[in-house]
Amino acid sequence: QQQVKQSPQSLIVQKGGISIINCAYENTAFDYFPWYQQFPGKGPALLIAIRPDVSEKKEGRFTISFNKSAKQFSLHIMDSQPGDSATYFCAASDGSRLTFGEGTQLTVNP
């Protein structure tokens, strides 16, 4: 069973637009929520992460929004660029293991 559910499976956005990817979790023991970016043929790379004591974290064009009561978190990519085209994974950790969502393939059209 997938403990972290991610949507959408794929997303197409125009250059300059906002990309939004959503994740939901069930395990209340999760206390660390990272997002990873993966390009074809490469391993995932840590993009941005948040802990549940804050509701939002921003790093450049990337923002995580976190809703603890709803057990949901999302990644917003502002001013999306063709170079952002990749697969994005949300994940959650309980301090010893990292569980991933199914992934979202993002395509940013020029």
Partner 1 sequence: NAGVTQTPKFQVLKTGQSMTLQCAQDMNHEYMSWYRQDPGMGLRLIHYSVGAGITDQGEVPNGYNVSRSTTEDFPLRLLSAAPSQTSVYFCASINFGWTEAFFGQGTRLTVV
Torsion of Cα atoms, 49 then 109 then 11 then 79, to 10°: 40
Q: Does 40 bind partner 1 (CB under 8 A)?
A: no
- Which residue matches tokens 């999760």? 30
Whose Cβ is closer to partner 1: residue 26's or residue 102's? Answer: 102
Q: Encoding tokens for residue 38? A: 């993966």
By CB under 8 A, which span of 12-20, 33-41, 52-60, 75-83 interacts with partner 1?
A: 33-41
Neighbours of 27 (CB within 10 A): 12
Q: Which spans in the chain are helix H?
A: none
Our CB check for partner 1 shows the closer of 41 and 110 to be: 41
Give least dist CB 21 to partner 1, A: 13
Tell me which residues touch partner 1 (CB under 8 A): 2, 6, 9, 32, 34, 36, 41-46, 49, 89, 93, 95-103
